[in-house]
Amino acid sequence: MLEIKNLHAEVDGKSILKGINLNINKGEVHAIMGPNGSGKSTLANVLAGRDDYDITEGSVLFDGKDISELEPEERAGEGIFLAFQYPVEIPGVTNTTFLKEALNAQRKYRGEEELGGMEFVKLIRSKTKELGIKDDMLKRAVNVGFSGGEKKRNDILQMAVLNPKLAVLDETDSGLDIDALKIVAEGVNKLRAENNAILVITHYQRLLNYIVPDKVHVLANGKIQRTGGKELALELEEKGYADYSGEAA
Amino acid sequence: MAATQETVEQVQNLEMDKYKYGFVTEIETEKAPKGLSEDTVRFISAKKNEPEWMLEWRLKAYRLWLTMPEPKWGKLDLPEIDYQDSYYYSSPKSMEDRPQSLDEVDPELLRTYEKLGIPIKEQEVLAGVAVDYVFDSVSVATTFRKQLLDVGVIFCPISEAIQDYPELVKKYMGSVVPQGDNKHACLNSAVFTDGSFVYIPKGVRCPMELSTYFRINELNTGQFERTLIVADEGSYVSYLEGCTAPQRDENQLHAAVVELIVMDDAEIKYSTVQNWYPGDEDGKGGIFNFVTKRGICKGKNSKISWTQVETGSAITWKYPSCILQGDNSVGEFYSVAITNGRQQADTGTKMIHLGKNTTSRIISKGISAGKSQNTYRGLVRVAAKADGARNFTQCDSLLVGQTCGAHTVPYIESKNRSARLEHEATTSKISDDQLFYCRQRGISEEDAVGLVVNGFCREVLQELPMEFAVEAQQLVKISLEGSVG
C-alpha cells in the first residue's frame, strides 16, 4: 500500500531524512521508533504533504500512485490520515460541522456523492457509539477546551469517521496519562482491519503494549537503522537509542 | 447624453477587473443636473412631489451642510470628495434594456448566487431581469403589505410616508440623527432619494421578518437611503437591510441615515448585510459607504439590537449606536467586518447610557486580509444619572496574511461610580497549523480559511435571522477568496 523508496527530505533547507525505505502492506501495523531529532515527525509531515517539508530525492507511492506532488487535502482524499501530536483548536467550529466538511470534501475528491444531513448524523452517531464517545462532544468546538486525552480521542473519532486507508499516528501518546493512552489505543485497535494499515510513530515503547505492531523500525539520523518484530520495541525500551545515534536519547 | 455614456463605459471597464461578482444593468436614467446646489435639492423634492415642509427641511440641511467640515477622525485614507462631480438623483426609467432572462446575466454573478444559495426567482429579481416575475414580486409585495396593514403595521417607501403619514414623519425624522450630526448625515438630509418607513403600533409583534419583502423590493434605492423605524409600546420588529448578493452602483458616494425609535417595552432588531462593490485591487472605483445609524431606547425596558455583516465597499465608515434613555433599556451591537484587497473599514458603535440600570453589549469581530485596514472604534458613555449601568465589550481581530492591519480604539467615559464596564480584546492570526490540520482532513485551503473565519464570527452570525445565516456564512467565505496561497 505504501512504498517509500530512498526518501530524502529537508525542512527549511536542512536535510533531515537521508534515504528512507519502507513498505507497508494492507492490514499491517508498523511502528517507527527513534530518538528525538531522528526525523520521525518529519516523516509524518512529509507523508501528509505539509508545506516546507520538501522531498529532494526518492519517491512515495501510495496504492501505486506517486503522491509526492499532491496537496495535503488530495492526499487526505487518497486515504492518508495523520493523527496529530498536538491537535489544533478551531474556535467556533463544532466537531459536527468540521467532520461533515472534511468527510464530504474527501468524498467529493473521490467522486463519491456527498452525504446529506441525516445520513451523516447516522454515520457519526454509529461511530461515537462504537468508540464510547459522548454525543455532546460533537457540539463542542473542535478541540477547544479539551483535555489532552479528549483531543486525542477526538482525533481517533475523526479517523473513525473518515475511515482512511493509512493512519499515521504521530507521537499520539505524548502527554497522555495511562488511562487516556489505553482509551486511545482501544479506539485505534477497533479500527484495525484487513483493508487498512497503521503507522505508529513513537518515542516510547509503552503505546506498543496496547497497539501491538507487526513490525518495528528504528529511525535515527534520518535513516531506518534496523527493522524487527514487536520484541524490538522492548529491547529499545531497555537499552535506549544510544546504539543508533551519536547522542544519548 | 455624453456624460451618461461615459459613466456606462467606466462601469463596463470596471467589469474587466477582478471583482468577479459585480454586475451592471444598463438602464436609462433620468438624472438630476450634475453637482450639488439648491436647485438640485429642489429638483429632487419636486420629482418626489413633496410638500413644502419637506423641501424646507431639505434646504435647511443643505445650507447647514455647506458650513460643515468633513469628519476626519476615522483611521481612513480618504481621498478628497468632489461633491460637484456627482449626480444626486437618478431614477430607473425603463425595463426594456434589462437582461431578458438569466441567460443574459454574467455567469460569474450567477455562480455567486448559487454559492450563496439564493433561489432562482430571487436571482432574477436581484440580477434585474425584466420578466413577468417582476409582476409577481409586485403582487408578493402587495400581499405582504396587506398582511402587515391588517395588524396595523405601516411599511412603505419613505417618499410615500411623507405623503401619507406626514405627522409621524415630521415628529420623528431627524429626532435621533439631527441634520447637523455630521457632514454625511447632513448631506443625506438634503438629498435623500428613498428608503423605508416602518411603524409598529402598540402591542403588535410584527408577523414577519421585514426582510423577504425588503430583499425583493428595495433594491437599487442605493445612494442616499433614509430609513425611519418607530416601534410603539410593547411592539417588536425584526428588520433586515441589504443583501448578501453583491451590489454595484455607479455612484461612488453613499451616505445613508437610519433612525430607530423604541418606546416602552418595545424592541427593534436591525440586521444589515452590506456587500457593495469594494473596488479593484488598487482600491479604485469602490463605493464609499458613510452611514449614520442610531437608535434611541426612549421607553423603559426597551431594546435595540444591531447586527451587521460588512464585507463590501472600498471605505466603510459606520457606527450603529444606541441611546439608552429609558430605564432598564438594552442596547446590543454585533458586528462582523471583513476587509480584503485595499478595503478600509472604520466601524463600531456608541452606547450612550442615560437611564438607570441600562445595559449594553458589544461583540465585534474584525477580519483583515490582503492589504486592508480594519478598525473597531467604539464609545461607551455613562451619564451621571445612569445608576447601575453595565457594559460588556468584546473586540476580536483576526489577521489573514502579513500585509493587513487591525486596530481597536475603544473610548470609555463614565460619570457614574456605580457603572460596571468590561472590555475584552484579542488579536489572532489564522495559523498555519490550523490550515494544515483542516487540509490534512481533506478540506481545501480556501475552504479551511472560510471555516476558521466562520467559526471566529459565529457569535455574531447566529444573531442574524435564520434565513440569512446560511447565506452569510457563504458570504464570509467568498469575501476571503484569494486571500491565502
Give pLDDT tens digits for A116-127.
989 999 999 999
Shortest Cα distance from B328 to chain A (angstroms)?
A: 31
* Selected residue of B440, B456, B473 to mutate for chain A interface (largest A Cβ count, 10 A): B440
Phi-psi sector, A12: left (phi>0), alpha (psi -120 to 50), beta: left
Share of chain B above pLDDT 90, in %: 50
Please judge whether B437 and A88 are an interchain contact, meaning their C-beta atoms are less than 8 angstroms apart: yes
Closest residue of chain B to A94, computed from CA coordinates: B455
**CB-CB contact of B301 with B332 (8 Å):** no
What's the rounded mean pLDDT across residues B23-37? 58
Shortest CA gap B334–chain A (Å) = 16
* Cα–Cα distance measured from residue B160 to residue B192, given in angstroms and rounded to the nearest whole number: 13
pLDDT bracket for residue B335 (50, 70, 90): very high
Count contacts between A and B (CB, < 8 Å).
80
8 Å CB contact between B207 and B239: no
Considering chain A, what is the average pLDDT of its residues? 91
- In chain A, the N- to C-terminal Cα span, in Å, equals 31
3-state secondary structure of B383: coil
pLDDT of residue B17: 38
Do the Cβ atoms of A88 and B443 come within 8 Å?
no
CB distance B295 to B264 below 8 Å: no
Q: Within chain A, which residues score under 50 in pLDDT?
A: 247-249
Inter-chain CB proximity A93 and B455 less than 8 Å:
yes
For B441, the closest of A50, A76, A141 (CB atoms) is: A76
C-alpha R_g of chain A: 18
How far apart CA B12 and CA B25 sit, in angstroms, is: 10
pTM: 0.83
Q: Which residues of A touch B460 (CB under 8 A)?
A: none
User: Which cell numbers hold the place of A186?
Assistant: 482501544
Burial letters B135-162, b for 16+ CB under 10 A, else e: eebeebbeebbeebeeeebbbbbbbebb
Using a CB-CB cut-off of 8 Å, the residues of chain A touching B447 are 101, 105
Interface test with B, best of A12, A45, A101 (most B CBs within 10 A): A101
A167 CB neighbours in chain B (<8 A) are: none
* Average pLDDT, integer, range B367-380: 93
Q: What is the CA radius of gyration of chain B?
A: 22
Q: Are B343 and B371 in contact (CB under 8 A)?
A: no
Report the interhelical angle of A95-109 vs A148-162 (nearest 10°). Answer: 30
Region at B43 (left for phi over 0; alpha for psi -120 to 50; beta for the rest):
alpha
Residue B454 and residue A93: Cβ atoms within 8 Å? yes
SS3 B340: coil
Q: Which site among A71, A86, A98 would you substitute to test the B interface, given the most B Cβ atoms closer than 10 Å to its Cβ?
A: A98
Cell numbers of B305, please?
439590537
Task: Identify the pLDDT of residue B143.
Answer: 63
User: Beta-strand (E) ranges in chain A?
Assistant: 2-11, 14-24, 29-33, 53-62, 65-66, 80-83, 90-94, 141-142, 166-170, 197-202, 215-220, 223-228
**What's the CA gap between A220 and A163, in Å, rounded?**
31
- Determine the 3-state secondary structure of A119 from DSSP: helix
A249 and A35 in contact (C-beta within 8 Å)?
yes
Alpha carbons A97 and A140: distance in angstroms, whole number = 10
**Nearest Cβ partner for B440 among A76, A92, A101:** A76
Backbone angles phi, psi at B392, to 5 degrees: -125, 125
- B 405-444 residues inside an 8 A Cβ radius of A: 431-434, 436-444
Which chain A residues are within 8 Å of B397, Cβ to Cβ?
Answer: none
DSSP helix, strand, coil percent of chain A (3-state; round to 5): 40, 30, 35
Q: Touching check for B452 and chain A: CB below 8 Å?
A: yes
Residues in chain A: 249
Contact B442 A102 (CB under 8 A): yes
Q: With a cut of 50, say whether residue B212 has pLDDT above it.
A: no
Whether residues A109 and B442 touch (CB distance < 8 A) is answered with yes
- Does B455 reach chain A within 8 Å, measured CB to CB? yes
How many Å apart are CA A143 and CA A154, to the nearest integer? Answer: 7
**By C-alpha distance, which of B439, B349, B456 is closest to B400?**
B456
Nearest CA in chain B to A141: B455
| Cβ-based interface (< 8 Å): residues of A facing B | 48, 50-51, 71-73, 75-77, 81-82, 84, 86-93, 97-98, 101-103, 105-106, 109, 141, 158, 162
Tens digits of residue pLDDT in B167-191: 999 999 999 999 999 999 999 999 9
| Average pLDDT of the residues in B197-219 | 73
B454 contacts on A by Cβ (under 8 Å): 92-93
How far is B332 from B364, CA to CA, in rounded Å? 11
Q: In the structure, what pLDDT confidence band is assigned to residue B22 with cuts at 50, 70 and 90?
A: very low
Q: Are A82 and A47 spatial neighbours (Cβ–Cβ below 8 Å)? A: yes
User: Minimal CA–CA distance to A237: which of A212, A204, A210, A201?
Assistant: A204
